[in-house]
Amino acid sequence: MKIVMCVKETPSTTAEKRFGADMRLERRKEDAIINPFDEYSIEEGLRQQEKHGGETIVLSMGPATATDTIRKALAMGADRGVLVSDPALAGSDAVATARVLAAALQKIGFDLVLFGSAAADAYGGIVPSAVAEFLGLPLLSFATKLDEDGTTAKIERQAEVGYNTVETQTPALVSVMKSINEPRYPSMKGIMQSKKKTIDTMSLADLGIESGTVGAGASGEKALSAEKITTQRKGEIYMGNDGAAERVVAFLVEQKVL
Amino acid sequence: MDFSLSDEQEMIRDMCREFAEEEIKPRAEELDRTGAFPYYIVRKMANLGLLGLPFPEEYGGAGADFLSYCLALEEIGRGDASVGITMEAHTSLGATPFYLFGTEEQKQQYLVPLARGEQLWAFGLTEPNAGSDSAGTETRAVKSNGVWHINGAKNFITNAGTDMTGGVTITAVTGRQSDGHKQITNFIVPQGTPGYLIGNPYHKMGWKASDTRPLSFEDCQVPDANRLGDEGDGFRQFMSILNAGRIAIAALSVGLAQACLDESLKYSRERQQFGRPIAAFQTIQFKLADMATEIELARNMYYKAAWLHMEGRPYTREASMAKLFASETAKRCADQAVQIHGGYGFMDEYPVSRFWRNVKVHEIGEGTSEVQRILIYKNL
């Protein structure tokens, strides 16, 4: 079985976000990490491989330096990496990204493609379904459990009450939730071996994609402004002996705590 | 000149930082309070290959270099010093002697399970009347019919009595050299050897969750196959082990110093006095700046000593300098960290009081600061 895990390099969740004049997030190499949501899809891919054998491939679209991020996924245990990198890709929105990933996936070949449910930079969450659309294949989204037997993939998806079971034929795409597993730490041996694993780089020409169909110019999604969200916590303090306890009780009743 | 770390070194450091943050730090207070050995953490570390970092894969290790091992120790020690010293004593003192001086058979039998982290191992040098003064060693081993009879006692031996411990390697006097000095030989004593008695854990001021015990040997018999290296090679062996171990202790001390700075930065930016965070006061800023500067210097010193060691160049002086400066830096940082925290720093609920208790032994273990100065002077 051939399993491809799609990963994105994102800024560390604790890094200060800065935006350029074009409202694009400035990405600094030293803040780059694997999108935390993708750690769950990498882990799930490795677990499926441990069960069924086959090959695990990490696919990413990003700047040339994103090989470092792919390398981290290889240290967790994936077999090899593919990076799609091309200057013309800068500024691609979710749909343009999906177009590129779909083309790369077709070139690589797969039985199962795994995604995190979103990326921790923009939280769009559109890419998995858009890739499925480009490929004309089913997406089992928001999986909290995945069973795969070589011909069918079956997931559980959290519902308001209980969960839904969704099943489809493979090849298929699956996006996973954080509750699906607990991602492993890269082992020391894994880290030492990661350097010996191959990471192939593909350009737009390699994928047969016209540069005019991707990148900032071809993207319908535009960021117009960005501002810091400030949350203000409002506390109410009831002072003194005069009725404070009653007001606390009334508040708790109002909140349906009592 | 190139100060950059390799990709592997960076990944190992980052992974250990994350592991310490998520798996060790949240448990450090409890470990200190109960003094219980951290099996859960140590077994996790074993599975990740952290107990055999600097040994080749063919012996069950990860095949990383010595600096990677030190970087890992710094990060693990930043999470908790007890866990850090457990890893250091196992790797530098327990496993390394087999790797450097063991026969191929001994490597297969002892080093492989240690590097895989299936077992821990201890090294017994210190005695009630001997430590850095190895001439005071009183434990004796006498050969009779091909069997060594060991009698004596060891003190302050780390990792000697855990459920995971496979045994201890000890120094013993086996005769006199032609110059009249005691001849010292190292012996492998597996757990359960008759006559090998493992005492109860000490009650300590810090490093509380590390396993440290007195050992005694009462006609403890081991075959000649349990001799590590040649007869009389013991002194050279432990000098070499301690030299490299000092770089590791320096790394561990930098980790502790960094933890002091981490907590001090956090606290001083939150704590409000006179209408502003105390970090807004220059007197606090100067303390933080001095801590950061000394940490940077101590870190560079252990990096360089590790580099010299990996390059096969002489490094005794630099190892002692790194150990001396890093442990004393950690002490100053712990002291200032408590000071910055004021009365809260004196309370157990803030980690800096634990750091302050832990740091003292960094100036003592694997050669006191005074012994480091002697070694440095000898190499001037």
> What residues in chain A have their Cβ under 8 A from chain B's Cβ atoms?
68, 71-72, 75, 185-192, 194-195
Q: Search chain B and give the residue with CA nearest A194.
A: B8
Same domain, yes or no, for B209 and B300?
A: no
From the CA of A122, how many Å to the nearest CA of chain B? 24
Q: Residue A56 pairs with which residues in a beta bridge?
A: A3
> Residues A14-33: pLDDT tens digits?
777 777 777 777 777 778 88
> Residues B31-85: pLDDT tens digits?
999 999 999 999 999 999 999 999 999 999 999 999 999 999 999 999 999 999 9
pLDDT at A199: 97
How many Cβ atoms sit within 10 Å of the Cβ of residue B289?
A: 11
CB contact under 8 A, A185 and B18: yes
How many Cβ atoms sit within 10 Å of the Cβ of residue A161?
A: 5
SS3 call for B111 = helix
**How many structural domains does chain B have?**
3
Tokens at residue B266, please? 């956090």
Of residues A241, A254, A208, the one with CA closest to residue A106: A208
Same domain, yes or no, for B271 and B365?
A: yes
Separation of alpha carbons B257 and B74, rounded Å: 10
- The reply to whether B311 belongs to the active site is no
CATH of domain A2-218: 3.40.50.620
Q: Is the pLDDT of residue A174 over 90?
A: yes
Q: Averaged over B257-267, what is the pLDDT? A: 98
Smallest Cβ distance to B48: which of A68, A71, A185?
Answer: A185
Burial B230-263 (b: 16+ CB within 10 A, else e): eebbbbebbeebbbbbbbbbbbbbbbbbbbbbeb
Tokens at residue A153, please? 């993939």
pLDDT at B252: 98
pLDDT at A234: 79
pLDDT at B331: 98
Among B207, B235, B263, the domain boundary falls at B235
The full 3-state SS of chain A, as one line of letters, equals: CEEEEEECEEECCCCCCCECCCCCECCCHHHEEECCCHHHHHHHHHHHHHHHCCEEEEEEECCHHHHHHHHHHHHHCCCEEEEECCHHHCCCCHHHHHHHHHHHHHHHCCCEEEEECCCCCCCCCCHHHHHHHHHCCCEEEEEEEEEECCCEEEEEEECCCCEEEEEEECCEEEEECHHHCCCCCCCHHHHHHHCCCCEEEECHHHHCCCHHHCCHHHCCCCCCCCCCCCCCCCCCCCCCCCCHHHHHHHHHHHCCCC
pLDDT at B70: 98
Residue A27, C-beta contacts closer than 8 angstroms, at least 6 positions apart: A9, A11, A63
Candidate from A216-230, B112-126, B217-231, B324-338 with smallest mean pLDDT = A216-230
Chain B residues with CB under 8 Å of A189 CB are: 49, 57, 62-63
> Residues B297-353: pLDDT tens digits?
999 999 999 999 999 999 999 999 999 999 999 999 999 999 999 999 999 999 999
Q: Where residue B372 sits, what CATH number does that domain have?
A: 1.20.140.10
Same domain, yes or no, for B102 and B75?
A: yes
Band of the pLDDT at A65, cuts 50, 70, 90?
A: confident
Q: Averaged over A127-149, what is the pLDDT? A: 95
Q: Is the pLDDT of residue A85 over 90?
A: yes
Same domain, yes or no, for B226 and B321?
A: no
Separation of alpha carbons B146 and A89, rounded Å: 75
Candidate from A113-127, B3-17, B76-90 with smallest mean pLDDT = A113-127
Same domain, yes or no, for B76 and B137?
A: no
Among B84, B119, B154, the domain boundary falls at B119
Among B193, B208, B235, the domain boundary falls at B235
> Residues A196-207: pLDDT tens digits?
999 999 999 999
SS3 call for B366 = coil
Band of the pLDDT at B187, cuts 50, 70, 90?
A: very high
* Mean pLDDT for chain B overall: 97
Q: Is the pLDDT of residue A137 over 90?
A: yes
DSSP B200: P
Is residue B2 assigned to a domain?
no
DSSP codes joined into one string, B11-61: HHHHHHHHHIIIIIHHHHHHHHHH----HHHHHHHHHTTTTSTTS-GGGTS
pLDDT at A17: 75
Q: Where residue B189 sits, what CATH number does that domain have?
A: 2.40.110.10
Q: Averaged over B16-37, what is the pLDDT? A: 97
Q: Residue B121 pairs with which residues in a beta bridge?
A: B167
pLDDT at A257: 85
Whole-angstrom distance between the N-terminal and C-terminal Cα of chain B? 24
Q: Averaged over B88-108, what is the pLDDT? A: 98
Q: Where residue B72 sits, what CATH number does that domain have?
A: 1.10.540.10
> Residues A183-199: pLDDT tens digits?
999 999 999 999 999 99
Domain that includes residue B333, residue range: 236-378
pLDDT at A134: 96
Q: Give the Cα-Cα-Cα angle A102, A106, A108 (nearest 5 degrees).
A: 115
Same domain, yes or no, for B114 and B132?
A: no
From the CA of A40, how many Å to the nearest CA of chain B? 16
pTM to 2 decimals?
Answer: 0.90
Q: Search chain A and give the residue with CA nearest B10.
A: A191
Same domain, yes or no, for B206 and B254?
A: no
Q: Averaged over B119-147, what is the pLDDT? A: 93
> Residues A3-12: pLDDT tens digits?
999 999 988 8
CB contact under 8 A, A185 and B64: no
